[in-house]
Amino acid sequence: MKDASPATQPETVYLKDYTPFGFDVETVELTFRLAPAATRVRARIRFVPKAQATDRRFFLHGEQLSLISARIDGLEVTPEITPTGLSCDVPDRPFIWESEVEINPGANTALEGLYMSNGMYCTQCEAEGFRKITYYPDRPDVMSVFTVRIEGTEQVLLSNGNPVRAGDGFAEWHDPWPKPAYLFALVAGDLLAHPDRFTTRSGKEVQLNIWVRPGDETKCAFGMEALKKSMAWDEQVYGREYDLDVFNIVAVDDFNMGAMENKGLNIFNSSCVLASPETSTDANFERIEAIIAHEYFHNWTGNRITCRDWFQLCLKEGLTVFRDAQFTADMRSAPVKRIEDVIDLRGRQFPEDGGPLAHPVRPEAFQEINNFYTATVYEKGAEVIGMLKRLVGDADYYKALDLYFARHDGQACTIEDWLTVFEDATGRDLAQFSNWYSQAGTPRLQVTEAYDDGTYTLTFRQSTPPTPGQPHKDPKVIPIAVGLLNPNGDEVVPTTVLEMTEAEQSFAFEGLSARPVPSILRDFSAPVILERDTSAEERAFLLAHDSDPFNRWDAGRELAKASRIAMVTEGASPDAGYLEALKVLVRDDSLDPAFRALVLSPPGETEIAQALSDQGVTPDPDAIHDASETFAQTLAQSLADSLPRLFAATLVDGPYQPDATGTGLRALNGRLLGLLTRLDGGEAAARQFAGADNMTVQNTALACLLKAEKGAEQNLAFFEQWQADRLVMDKWFALQVITARPSHAVAVAGDLTRHPLFTIKNPNRFRAVMGALSMNHAGFHQADGSGYRLLADQLIALDALNPQTTARMCTAFQTWKRYDAERQDKIRADLERIKAAPGLSRDTNEMVSRILDA
């Protein structure tokens, strides 16, 4: 066995250094003889030297492998082996490489490569995990046809592609579609199938299965419906059909992220596929539907067309996130989905873009690629595609996509390929647009306006602050969707897309009878920060009248933020005009309940901290928390008369349905119950808890009670009812920390790490506790530094087992420069403590170093 610890000097990989592999890999035959501590993997691979190759070195990646034997054309060879792979002299003609290695899936706690989860074998290879399975050119531009034989256990045995043969203790699979190694997958376990079928529009019959551990088969129906809807949607909207005889999904409990799009064999974190009304919330259902769609859509955007190298990750991720958002908008409410996505973008991507971890949508250097599966690559990557679609229009967008699929099917591509397709399909020059891929940072868009003699002029100035390694930024192409309203609230100019390309640019609207009220950046048409001096009256006007649901909601959000900031910085009372506007909206039954729930959801404390720091004010977490509490209390009191009636109207009769209508009503129910609990001492919440027949209302009621420090009895009842259900217990763990008052949160989280049901080895459970702590803003940022200390202790312990999840959770520290000097000192000390931990992984070392370099 090789040493598992990383090389002492971490190596940086650069986009500019890309060179193709010197060989084609025609076929790959793998044989797995499974055993928990000593699995044997035999590989038989046909390599063909490329005629044009500039680099003919034969280097195969391989990590933590014990090489048993190696042969070329049947003759034993002795390769030179390093901790990262092997090299060997090879003939100058096609040859067969054969190797046998031994690996230890039972000891694999990193959950990368082949590992075991509750007695089940499973794999995770993206980005570079295949090299922990066998020696191979583990890079996405090496695509090949895989045949796999699995032996050694009498269980369900799955791999990519179509089943070929199976018998007692063995199975063979063949995947006819050439693919990179990161899409390889293998599963073996005592699994049950929830089966179904799908007929593609050209009449191909596909066998569908969701494989789960016995006991979970009752939680598959929703995921299966989501899969069939996704398959039909991709045919209708993008003309993309499925291309194998089977499509398998497997639920796994121990998984570093949400799910993985392995060809024909998607592997899912069980939290992202298993659903039942009793155990899953509305938010779970929506997320499951979206992730099933996302992984399915990767079959074309990711698998049939993949990435040339990992710098091109957004080629598949940005596009697939964009596609899954379109799907959710079609299945549910488009405005609600857009608002939720922007909340997420501002909450996760903007801080990344404005902090030490900022990187372009297409990064140019990395030490550990797993650290670049970020909100920037995924969510900003999707926003960039949304802008492209808005600029070229729907018809040209789908024309370009048709060309993309026709031209690049079976290839490993770059962002240049992608943009060239759009240029060829639409005749547009996208040279300036490509800045969105190469320059990090969130553009600021300043707006000034003038009205003179019927002409209204909007002037925009764009600038992007420097980011690490990128001091200078060029102007970007920004599609700005604008509408104009008359003072009476009617729309005088419907939505038009202004195309900004200069650093400063003006746009005039003529023939207006009065000075209009502008509604700017409708539908959030670009991922920028809009800076405009707007009066509270104007925001209230837009909140009442804007025909664009996103901007209507955003006007309310801006009012909420302004009021909270005035409370924190000036000791002001909650803004009366805003409270009045909320009262009107929440009572307006003509409005979608989901929309009313969103308007009633206050910006979180982290968002207020961000807003303060954007204004150059050092945020005080306790003051922000107090202001949030005061605001909610005042809102509850000002709604006191109507709250019971409004609340009663949200109680849904009939069986639970996780659809948009039911979800919207329950979202409003949750918001109102939160307010009501501030007035009735928890009576309504206790009643709702006692009568709950689904997890959404049960969980909401418990959260309200715990927040009010009234729920001891219900908390115990919930625990006893659900202690055998891992996914519900994750909710219970998280709730304890999220609802804890700030001064208790660290102690609560610390105690939970010693709870008998806590395990550091399960990423879901770890995130339930430590992720929740980082979300309890004032709790995590306790002035004594106890929150930082606890997280650092846990990250040091986790890094020795699971570098990927550790590195990802380091992002809790990325905003550290926002806070006061004392807090910064404490955070720096803890970051340095993590950095000095013996044997620290390359993953965590890279993250901590970048954060410290701020």
Q: Give whichever of 259 and 636 is closer to ligand B3K, judged by the CB atom.
A: 259
Type and span of the H or E element at 838: none
Beta strands, E only, 703-827: none
**Candidates 101-109, 217-225, 252-260, 534-542; binding stretch for ligand B3K (CB under 6 A):** 252-260
* Tokens of residue 621, six digits: 């977490």
Cβ atoms < 10 Å from Cβ of 415: 22
State the Cα–Cα distance between residues 707 and 735, nearest whole angstrom. 9
Q: Does 179 bind ligand B3K (CB under 6 A)?
A: no
The one-letter code for the residue type at 356 is P
Helix (H, G, I), strand (E, B) or coil at 179: strand
Q: Which does 816 bind (CB under 5 to 8 A by kind): ligand B3K, Zn ion, none?
A: none
What is the closest distance, in whole angstroms, from the C-beta atom of residue 373 to Zn ion in the complex?
A: 9
Picked from ligand B3K, Zn ion, none, the partner binding residue 133 (CB below 5 to 8 A depending on kind) is: none
Under the binding rule (CB under 6 A), the answer on residue 307 touching ligand B3K is no
Residue 108 or 753 with smaller CB distance to ligand B3K: 108
The residue type found at 757 is: L
- Stretch 41-60 residues interacting with Zn ion (CB under 5 A): none
What track of x and - describes contact with Zn ion for positions 90 through 129 (by CB under 5 A)?
----------------------------------------
Question: How far is 735 from 752, CA to CA, in rounded Å?
Answer: 11
> What is the amino acid identity at position 466?
P
Rounded to an integer, what distance in angstroms lies between the CA atom of residue 335 and that of residue 660?
Answer: 12
Binding status of residue 294 toward ligand B3K by CB under 6 A: yes
Picking from 362, 387, 389, 388, the residue whose alpha carbon sits closest to that of residue 374 is 362
810 binds ligand B3K (CB under 6 A): no
Q: Which stretch binds ligand B3K (CB under 6 A): 290-298, 447-455, 600-608, 692-700?
A: 290-298
Rule CB under 6 A: say whether 377 interacts with ligand B3K. no
For ligand B3K, the closer CB: 90 or 260: 260
The residue whose two tokens read 């909320």 is 582
- CB of 374 vs ligand B3K, minimal distance in Å: 10
Query: Nearest Cα to 167, choosing from 154, 183, 176, 184?
Result: 154
Cα(165)–Cα(150) distance, integer angstroms: 11
Residue 531 pairs in a beta bridge with 446
Evaluate whether 385 touches 423 at the Cβ level (below 8 Å).
Answer: no
| The entry of ligand B3K, Zn ion, none that residue 319 binds, CB within 5 to 8 Å by partner kind | none
d(Cα 785, Cα 787) in Å, to the nearest integer? Answer: 5
CA neighbor of 798 nearest in space, from 844, 735, 733: 844
Q: Segment near ligand B3K (CB under 6 A), from 253-261, 482-490, 522-530, 736-744?
A: 253-261
Of 532, 523, 533, the residue nearest 497 (C-alpha): 523
CA 290 from centroid of its chain's CA atoms: 11
Closest distance to Zn ion from the beta carbon of 182 (Å): 12
Q: Which residue among the candidates 29, 295, 317, 340 is catalytic per the annotation?
A: 295
Q: How many residues bind Zn ion (CB under 5 A)?
A: 2
Q: How far apart are CA 633 and CA 678, in angstroms?
A: 7
Given strand 192-199, what is the order of strands in its sheet? 192-199, 205-212, 246-252, 265-269, 259-260
Peptide bond into 609 cis (omega under 30): no
- Matching residue, tokens 């990590």: 63
Instruction: Give the CA angle between residues 111, 112, 113 to the nearest 5°.
Output: 125
Select 373 or 595, whichever has its Cβ closest to Zn ion: 373
* Residue 63 C-beta: closest distance to ligand B3K, Å: 15
134 DSSP assignment: S
Query: What is the nearest approach in angstroms of ligand B3K to the Cβ of residue 287?
Result: 13
740 lies in the site for ligand B3K, by CB under 6 A: no
Can residue 607 be called a binding residue for ligand B3K (CB under 6 A)?
Answer: no
Under the binding rule (CB under 6 A), the answer on residue 554 touching ligand B3K is no
**Six-digit token pair at 240?**
């993309």
Report the residue number, 31 or 802, with the smaller CB distance to ligand B3K. 802
Is 306 among the residues that bind ligand B3K (CB under 6 A)? no
Interface residue with ligand B3K among 295, 324, 340, 605 (CB under 6 A) is 295
What is the SS3 assignment for 287?
helix
Contact 596, 590 (CB under 8 A): no
Which span (147-155, 259-267, 626-634, 820-828) binds ligand B3K, by CB under 6 A? 259-267
370's contact among Zn ion, ligand B3K, none, with CB below 5 to 8 A by partner kind, is ligand B3K
Among 60, 257, 425, 555, binds ligand B3K (CB under 6 A): 257
Integer Cα distance of 322 and 101 in angstroms: 40
Interacting partner of 769 out of Zn ion, ligand B3K, none (Cβ under 5 to 8 A depending on kind): none
Question: Which range in 84-92, 257-265, 546-554, 834-842 contacts ligand B3K by CB under 6 A?
Answer: 257-265
- Name residue 548's amino acid: D
**Which residue, 295 or 353, has its beta carbon nearer to ligand B3K?**
295
Compare residues 13 and 53 and give the one whose CB is closer to ligand B3K.
Answer: 13
Provide the sign of the torsion angle of the four alpha carbons 71, 72, 75, 76, taken in this order. Answer: negative
Q: What is the closest distance, in whole angstroms, from the C-beta atom of residue 509 to ligand B3K in the complex?
A: 42
Is 127 a binding residue for ligand B3K by CB under 6 A? The answer is yes
Using CB under 6 A as the binding criterion, the count of chain residues that bind ligand B3K stands at 12
Measure the CA–CA gap between 630 and 636, rounded to whole angstroms. 10
* Helices 394-408 & 381-392 angle (0-180, nearest 10): 120
Contact status, residue 225 vs residue 210, Cβ threshold 8 Å: no
Residue 373 lies near ligand B3K (rule: CB under 6 A): yes
Q: Considering the rule CB under 6 A, would residue 375 count as an interface residue with ligand B3K?
A: no
C-beta of 294: minimal distance to Zn ion in Å?
A: 5
546 binds ligand B3K, rule: CB under 6 A:
no
* Interaction partner, residue 300 (ligand B3K, Zn ion, none; CB < 5-8 Å by kind): none
- Token pair belonging to 449: 């306006």
209 binds ligand B3K (CB under 6 A): no
Assess whether 286 carries a catalytic annotation.
no
**Nearest to 287, CA basis, from 241, 248, 327, 233:** 327
Task: Choose from Zn ion, ligand B3K, none: what does 260 bind? Cβ within 5-8 Å by kind.
Answer: ligand B3K
Q: Are 122 and 112 in contact (CB under 8 A)?
A: no
Residue 267 burial by CB count (10 A; 0-12/13-18/19+): exposed, middle or buried? buried
Q: In the complex with ligand B3K, which residue's Cβ is closer, 299 or 563?
A: 299
Residues 729-748, mask of contacts with Zn ion (x by CB under 5 A): --------------------
Partner from Zn ion, ligand B3K, none contacting 127, C-beta within 5 to 8 A by type: ligand B3K
Residues within window 313-372 making contact with ligand B3K, judged by CB under 6 A: 317, 370
What SS3 state is found at 701? helix
Nearer to ligand B3K, 98 or 324 (CB): 324
- Tell which positions 314-343 bind Zn ion, by CB under 5 A: 317, 320
Give me the least distance between CB of 270 and Zn ion, in Å please.
18
- Report whether 669 contacts 696 (CB < 8 A): no
State the nearest-atom distance from the C-beta of 537 to ligand B3K, in Å: 44
Residue by residue, DSSP assigns 399-453 as HHHHHHHHHHTT-EE-HHHHHHHHHHHH----TTTTHHHH--SPPEEEEEEEEET
**Complex with ligand B3K: residue 29 or 317, whichever CB lies closer:** 317
Nearest Cα to 393, choosing from 512, 496, 294?
A: 496
Q: Any contact of residue 126 with ligand B3K (CB under 6 A)?
A: yes
134 vs 256, beta carbon nearer ligand B3K? 256
Of 320 and 715, nearer to ligand B3K (C-beta) is 320
- Residues designated catalytic: 295
Binding residues (CB under 6 A) for ligand B3K: these are 126-127, 257, 259-261, 294-295, 298, 317, 370, 373
Binding residues (CB under 5 A) for Zn ion: these are 317, 320
